[in-house]
Structures are given as structure tokens and as C-alpha cells.
Amino acid sequence: MWVRLVLCLCWVVLGSQGQDRASLRKSNDRNGRCQYSFTVESPDESSCPSPSPAGGPEFENLRARLTLLETVVSRVLGAEALTDVAKEAEEAQETKQLIQDKEQLDRQVQELRRRVEELTMETEKLRDRPCPLVQGVPIDGFGVIGGSSGPVIGRSFQELKAELSELPAPARVLENNHNNTGCGELTSIGEPETVQKADGITGKYGLWFQDPEATGQPYGPDTVWRINAVDVDVKQLYAYENLEQLGRGFPMKVLVLPESVESTGATVYRGSLYYQRKRSPTLLRFDLNSEKIMARRDLPHAGFHGKHPYSWGGYTDIDLAADEQGLWAIYSTDKARGAIVLAKLNPESLEVIRSWETNVRKNKVANAFMICGRLYTVASYSANTTTVNYTFDTASGNSKKLEVPFRNRYRYNSMIDYNHARKKLYAWDNFHMVTYDVKLGEI
Ligand code: CA
């Protein structure tokens, strides 16, 4: 009895536990036949080493497809990401290349502009300097220019330019020289023509010239020389190829003078710059080709550094000038008591050949210049309308008053110099470089 009771209790207990851990499963096999499966969990194993009941063929299939899908999605996303990175890199490279191309094009544009400007200047120069042809020599592309041999075709522009620069002075200048051999008294002065304006404070006063008797290369009659006179030590001499280049403001060379210039009384003549050494009565001849001082000499008894200046001051004690008859010095001495003394100089040695004392006080006139051995003085440096008011003839020793109208357009004229090859006055009027045409009467 007790044994049967215990067995019944064990069956009940085990049965109640077995209800949670055992299951009966009904399904069709692969052949479609009904199949019953009775499953009991093992109390010793928490999981099955083989695929779980949920990992059936469908589950495995689904999981495989899911894995495949994940792989595909991953590849697609990865590919897209890589594509984006590649595109960004490619765009960056293209941007960099475009910037480089733009910089290169900018440089090419600048270079082309410079070349156009140079060619324009060369064209103007060549237009102004016609090539004199040798009579009877053909110029047909295989002939010769100026007597030199060799075909024109194949020679560089620089070679042609060099040949042109070796030609004699242009006919226009030679014609002026010829005309100027007929000297006469000054009868009229034209309106000032502005060539250039200085762009710095050092250019308020200054001096500029073209050599009326240029001796050769590299500096010819077209070369323009310029000195800005406002500085502690004035030593820079600017050379411009011609007036057009001066107008554009591009010097071809800057020469450094070995000794400082005093004031605005220098001049250029026969390939040399003649000037007064600073704070001294010493005259210097600076050869423009060799860039050396070729002569120096004190101007006897000459006042300097503010003792006998022109009316505007500026230490304009010694004014050098060239004309058809040679080189001159306009200055004063204590003996002359401030009256203008005129000396004719040897252009090689700077010795005084002869001197004259006039009866016009130097500090009462604005400036002076020489034409055909005659001294002319300008009454005012600042009046808009003034006159050339006095002349002294070294040939006769006579002087007289004049009233030839003269205009200071910019009202502060610090330098006036005559160029007998071009029959023009060169002046520096309050930052402005100007020229005046002059007319001479009959002898
Ligand atoms: Ca002068």
C-alpha cells in the first residue's frame, strides 16, 4: 500500500515537472507523411550543441539570407562611402589644378601685357627713328640694312634693334642742329608742355635734360636724364630711353653719382653730366658712359651754398648751361657784389676760358639760360605770367631789357635749361617736367 502511494506521488511530481520540459510535436516529413516527435529536455544540459529547435532549416536558411543581405548592404554602403571619398578627393584635385591653371594664366597675362607695352614702345621708337637706307642696296628681306651684310630674315629683333641703335643721330635732330646754326635773338616762348609729373616729395624740385650733342651709345640724343633734387644727398641720376618712357615713369637705368649734387644747376652736354659738388664751388664732369668723374675744378671766386642764389633760393648759386657755342657757368662773386657773372668753360677740363660781369643781380631773377652765346633771365619763378626780362650778349658785351612772355603754369619753377638741338627750354615747375618751344629772330 505505502509503496503504491509513493510511486503515485513520484509519478505526479515527475509528471508535473515533465509537462514543462517535454513536448509532443506533430509535423510532416519531407515525404509528406505525418511524423510525431516527443522531446524532453535534458536536465544536465542547458543548451544543445546542435542547432536549437529554432535553428531549423528555415531558420538556417533565413539566417543565411540575412547574412548575405547584411553583406550586400555592407558592401553597398562601403562602396558608397568610398565613392564619396573618391569624389571629394577628385574635386579637391580639380580645384587645386584650376587654381594652378588660373595662376599660370595670370602670369601669362602679365607677361603678355609687359611684352605688349615693350613692343608698343619699340614701335614708337622705330617710328620716330626711320632707318636711312643705303642708296642702291635692296631691302627686300634678303638685302642689307645700313650697309651691314646678312639676310634680314632669321635675324632677331634684338639684332635689328642693335643695328638701328648704331645708326647716326636721327634726321630730325640733325635738322634741328642745322637750323640752330643760324642763331638769333629770342623772340617768343611757347606755352609749357607737360611731359611728366614727379610722384614723390623728392620731386618738388629737380632737373632734367636731353643731351643736345650726344656722343654715342648707349645714350643717344633721345635719352632723358633726370635728378630729383629734394634729398639730403642727391646722387641718383635716372636715365630714360626717351620722352615716352619718361612719361610712363620707367627708367632704363639709375646711375649713382660718386659725389652729391648741389641744387638744380647741372646740365648734360656731349656725353657728360656737369654739376656743382655739394657745399663747394667745385665743378665736376661725370662721364655718362664710364660713370666716372673725368674732370673737377673750382670755379674761381664763385659763391656757393646760398651766398648768391636765384630769387627762389635753393642753393642755386652756380648754374651750368650749354648752347650752340659751348659750356657756360652762371654765378656771382663777392667782387661782382651779387651781379651775375658769366664764364665760358672748357668742356674737357672745366677751365674758365673767359668771363663777363653783367649788371643784373642774381638774386633778383628766377633763373637763367643761354642761347647762342646770349644770357637770358626770367623775372619770376612763381607768377603764372611773367617775362624773360633781360639779355646779355657775350659777343658784343651789351645787355638790354626784354619783355618776352613766359608762363609758370605750376607756379614754382626751380630749373630752366635750353636744348639747342631741339630748340626747346626744359623746366621743372613744382613737380612737373615741362618743355617750351622757343623762336629766334634773324641774326
Ligand atoms: Ca638754368
- Mean pLDDT by runs of 10 across the 443 residues of the chain is 46 45 70 70 56 57 75 63 67 79 72 67 57 33 29 36 36 39 89 94 92 90 95 94 94 97 96 97 97 98 96 95 97 97 98 97 97 97 97 96 97 96 96 97 76
- Other beta carbons within 10 angstroms of residue 393's beta carbon come to 15
Q: What is the reported pLDDT for 15?
A: 45
Residue type, 292: K
Please give the Cα distance from 126 to 47 (Å, whole number): 107
CA 51 / ligand 1 centre spacing (Å): 118
Q: What is the pLDDT of residues 352-408, one digit of tens each?
A: 999 999 999 999 999 999 999 999 999 999 999 999 999 999 999 999 999 999 999
Using CB atoms within 10 Å of the CB of residue 196, give its burial: 0 to 12 exposed, 13 to 18 middle, 19+ buried. Answer: buried
pLDDT score of 400: 96
Residue 259's nearest CA partner among 276, 240, 238, 239 is: 276
Ligand 1 mean position, distance from CA 247 (Å): 22
Pairing between β-strand 413-419 and β-strand 399-407 as defined by DSSP bridges: unpaired
What DSSP line would sit under 8-76, residue for residue? HHHHHHHHHHHHHHEEEEEEE-TTS-EEEEEEE--TT-SS-SSPPTTSSHHHHHHHHHHHHHHHHHHHH
How far is the centre of ligand 1, averaged over its atoms, from the C-alpha of 265 (Å)? Answer: 6
At residue 140, the pLDDT reads 28
Q: What three-state secondary structure class fits 212?
A: coil
CA of 208 to the centre of ligand 1 (A): 11
CA–centroid distance, 215 to ligand 1, in Å, is 22
Please give the pLDDT value at position 218.
87
Contact 203, 228 (CB under 8 A): yes
Amino acid at the residue 170: P
pLDDT for 181 equals 56
DSSP state of 260: P
Ligand 1 center to 410 CA (angstroms): 17
Q: According to the model, what pLDDT value does residue 158 have?
A: 39
pLDDT in the model for residue 171: 34
C-alpha cell at 93: 584635385
Centre of ligand 1 to C-alpha 425, Å, is 10
Q: CA–CA separation, 266 vs 207, rounded Å?
A: 7
CA 249–ligand 1 middle distance (angstroms): 24
| CA–centroid distance, residue 248 to ligand 1 (Å) | 25
Q: What spacing in Å lies between the alpha carbon of 292 and ligand 1's midpoint? A: 24
CB of 248 within 8 A of CB of 196? no
User: For 333, which DSSP code?
Assistant: B
CA of 330 to the centre of ligand 1 (A): 8
> Shortest CA distance to 428 belongs to which of 223, 253, 206?
206
Is residue 257 within 8 A of residue 235, CB to CB? The reply is: yes
Distance 415 CA to ligand 1 centre (A): 6
Crossing angle of helices 57-128/157-165, nearest 10°?
20
- What cell was used for 87? 569624389
254: cell is 639709375
Ligand 1 centroid to 242 CA: how many Å? 22
CA of 379 to the centre of ligand 1 (A): 13
Cα separation, 274 vs 326, in Å, equals 12
| Rounded distance from Cα 416 to ligand 1 centre (Å) | 4
d(CA 417, CA 265): 9
Cα-to-centroid distance, 319 and ligand 1 (Å): 5
Q: What's the confidence (pLDDT) of residue 79? A: 56
Strand partners, 287: 272, 292
Q: Give me the pLDDT at residue 40, please.
A: 62
Ligand 1 centre from 329 Cα, in Å?
Answer: 9
CA of 377 to the centre of ligand 1 (A): 9
- φ, ψ of residue 75 to 5 degrees: the values are -65, -40
CA of 291 to the centre of ligand 1 (A): 23
CA distance 178 to 423: 11
CA distance 197 to 43: 113
Q: Dump pLDDT digits (tens) for 94-149.
A: 778 777 777 777 777 676 676 666 666 665 655 555 433 333 333 222 222 233 33
C-alpha cell recorded at residue 90: 577628385
The grid coordinates of residue 260 equal 652729391
Tell me the CA–centroid distance for residue 430 and ligand 1, in Å: 15
In one-letter notation, the amino acid at residue 350 is L
If you measure from the C-alpha of residue 293 to the centroid of ligand 1, how many angstroms do you get, rounded to a whole number? 22
Instruction: Quote the pLDDT of residue 124.
Output: 60
CA of 264 to the centre of ligand 1 (A): 8
d(CA 172, CA 423): 12
* 185-440, CATH topology level: Lipocalin (2.40.128)
Instruction: Give 153 Cα–ligand 1 centroid separation in angstroms.
Output: 48
C-alpha 413 to ligand 1 mean position (Å): 10
* Cα torsion angle, 192, 184, 171, 269, sign: negative
Buried b (16+ CB within 10 A) or exposed e, 17-42: eeeeeeeeeeeeeeeeeeeeeeeeee
pTM given for the model: 0.61
CATH 2.40.128.630 domain range(s) in the chain: 185-440
